[in-house]
Amino acid sequence: MTDNLATERQADIRTGRLSDAEIEQNFTDKCPPLSHAEALIESDRCYFCYDAPCTEACPTEIDIPGFIQQIRSNNIKGSAQTILTENIMGGMCSRVCPTEILCEEVCVRNIHEDKPVSIGLLQRFATDPIIESNTELFSRGEDSGHTVAVVGAGPAGLSCAHRLSMLGHSVVLYNRDQKPGGLNEYGIAAYKAVNDFAQREVEYILSIGGIDVRSGVSLGSDLSFPDLQQQYDAVFLAFGLGGANKLGLPNEDIEGVLSAVDYISDLRQSENKGGLPVGNRVVVIGGGMTAVDIAVQSKRLGAEFVDIVYRRGAKQMGASRHEQELAQTSGVTIRHWAQPTRILLDDRVTGMQFERTELDAEGNLRGTGEHWSLDADIIFTAVGQTFTDEVFGEVAGDFEYQYGKLLVNDNRRTSVARTWAGGDCIFGHDDLTVTAVQDGKLAAIDIDRFLETGQQGDEAWQT
């Protein structure tokens, strides 16, 4: 097949496809908060299970029946305390957690009546007023004299810093981006965290004190890992994932092929969403949460045709069923079992050619040789991000890795002395805000144990 497969059509990329009012409407809260009355009624549905399955399913182990009972008794502050003690980002998590595959999936109400307690919405109900009013629930512990370096101010880094401060340690928090928050600020879909919630939550977390944030400072270019090791009593690495994966096709750098993560970051930072260039025909390659997010947001910015193309089936998609449904009800077409084979172009992108896929007898994915194509003004790649060890420079070889990510033990210790890691940059972490928060918390608790007892990294690594 040849390039003239591309149809003769003008690229249609414009700003201002929708009116400001339409944009505003499209980017309001995806799940509006519960009213007081709704929260009371919903909290009454909790059975207060023993050894509750929901708590076990929560990566941060929030005492869910406990906080819901506190809502029932109108003890909202106590409820927030229960949540935030285990998960200082309980506010953001209540908005972005895929609860349908976490706490709400195992709610016993599913067996009883096929409708779980709305745990996420109740969690938001309890925590919103605390962040809103900046009510102090946690205070800095008595100064231990220790200082810990945290690299990366995303969910993992902030969670670790906050817990370290509670435990009395001082923290220097280095962050590459100008704003702290990590992907909460630059990645999460705009309609999941409206009204600048990410920054308000960061302010709340930092208000505990004892955390010195240094923005615009990158490990690797502005400071080296050996320097950190030398200057601080312990180091926590939480710099997330660096580069976006490529499709591995010729002409991938041509105009019109964009990384979804970069575009979402622009979208999240833009003051005027209507000013973003939006294609009329958008094709998204990938099957995860990022693919859904870019597809839905493109639609909400006014793209007319948005297709997600994923090389396997609906079951294998990284995006949960709930997310897939969100895409479909937003008018996005999801096409399964097709892999990109060629970028169609003239002086810029005009479309994409795909090959049908199937599983062979051994269950491996293979192309069938049958091709089809889609017109496109924009192609978004959303095929994952990779860990880059460049930040470590010469000492990169000191760390142990698994599948290209940092290897840590249960307490989030790396193989390098006095160094812990968490969040997207470690192996075994499932790329969610909530797991990043748990990593930070566990690491802080272990760092504290280490600083108080002096237990050395090597022997601890073995445990």
Partner 1 sequence: MADLTSEFAGIQSPNPFWLASAPPTDKAYNVNRAFEAGWGGVVWKTLGEDPPVVNVSGPRYSTMFSNERRVIGLNNIELITDRPLQINLDEMRQIKKDWPDRALIASVMLPMNEKTWAKYIPIIEDTGADGFELNFGCPHGMSERGMGAAVGQVPEYIQMATEWAKKYARVPVIVKLTPNVTNILPVAHAAANGGADAVSLINTVNSIMRVNYDTLTMYPTTDGMGSHGGYCGAAVKPIALHMVAEIARNAETANVPISGIGGIGDWRDAVDFLALGASNVQVCTAAMVYGFKIIDDLTSGLSDFIDAKNLHTVSALVGKAVPSVTDWQHLNLNYVEKAVIDQDLCIKCGRCHIVCEDTSHQAITHTVKGERCFEVIDEECVGCNLCVSICPVDGCISMQQLTSGVDPRTGRDVQAEKATWTTHPNNPMAK
Ligand X SMILES: Cc1cc2nc3c(=O)[nH]c(=O)nc-3n(C[C@H](O)[C@H](O)[C@H](O)COP(=O)(O)OP(=O)(O)OC[C@H]3O[C@@H](n4cnc5c(N)ncnc54)[C@H](O)[C@@H]3O)c2cc1C
Window contacting partner 1 (CB under 8 A); options: 51-59, 125-133, 142-150, 419-427: 51-59
Which of 5, 18, 49, 244 is the binder for partner 1 (CB under 8 A)?
49
Q: Which does 424 bind (CB under 5 to 8 A by kind): partner 1, ligand X, none?
A: ligand X
Which of 116, 187, 210, 302 is the binder for ligand X (CB under 6 A)?
187
Which residue number, 111 or 361, has a Cβ lying nearer to partner 1? 111
Q: Does the footprint of partner 1 cover residue 21 (CB under 8 A)? A: no
Q: Does the footprint of ligand X cover residue 319 (CB under 6 A)? A: no
Which residue number, 75 or 85, has a Cβ lying nearer to partner 1? 75
Count Cα atoms within 13 angstroms, Cβ side, for 273.
Answer: 24
CA-to-CA separations, 268 to 15, 179, 192, 297, 317, in angstroms, rounded: 16, 12, 11, 11, 24
Window contacting ligand X (CB under 6 A); options: 55-63, 102-110, 180-188, 366-374: 180-188
Window contacting ligand X (CB under 6 A); options: 10-18, 42-50, 424-432, 449-457: 424-432
List binders of partner 1 among 96-135 (CB under 8 A).
108-109, 111-112
Which residue number, 376 or 432, has a Cβ lying nearer to ligand X? 432
Which residue number, 39 or 332, has a Cβ lying nearer to partner 1? 39
Q: Return the closest-CA partner of residue 85 out of 48, 133, 56, 127.
A: 127
Q: What is the CB neighbour count within 10 angstroms for residue 10?
A: 7
Contact 36, 413 (CB under 8 A): no
Contact 325, 331 (CB under 8 A): no
Rounded CA separation 63/49 (Å): 11
Q: Does the footprint of ligand X cover residue 256 (CB under 6 A)? A: no
Rounded CA separation 50/35 (Å): 28
- Supply the DSSP symbol for 191: G
Rounded CA separation 318/287 (Å): 6
Written as six digits, the tokens of 216 are: 């615009």
Rounded CA separation 156/434 (Å): 9
Q: Does the footprint of partner 1 cover residue 40 (CB under 8 A)? A: yes
Which of 122, 126, 156, 167 is the binder for ligand X (CB under 6 A)?
156
Q: Does the footprint of ligand X cover residue 176 (CB under 6 A)? A: yes
Q: Does the footprint of ligand X cover residue 120 (CB under 6 A)? A: no
Contact 212, 172 (CB under 8 A): yes
Written as six digits, the tokens of 435 are: 């797991």
Q: Does the footprint of ligand X cover residue 432 (CB under 6 A)? A: yes
Written as six digits, the tokens of 307 are: 């297709």
Which of 4, 8, 21, 50 is the binder for partner 1 (CB under 8 A)?
50
Rounded CA separation 6/127 (Å): 52
Q: Does the footprint of partner 1 cover residue 48 (CB under 8 A)? A: yes
Rounded CA separation 68/119 (Å): 8
Binding positions for partner 1, rule: CB under 8 A: 40-41, 43-44, 47-53, 72, 108-109, 111-112
Binding positions for ligand X, rule: CB under 6 A: 96-97, 151-157, 174-177, 182-183, 187-188, 192, 218-220, 238-240, 261, 264, 289-290, 293, 391, 423-424, 431-434, 436
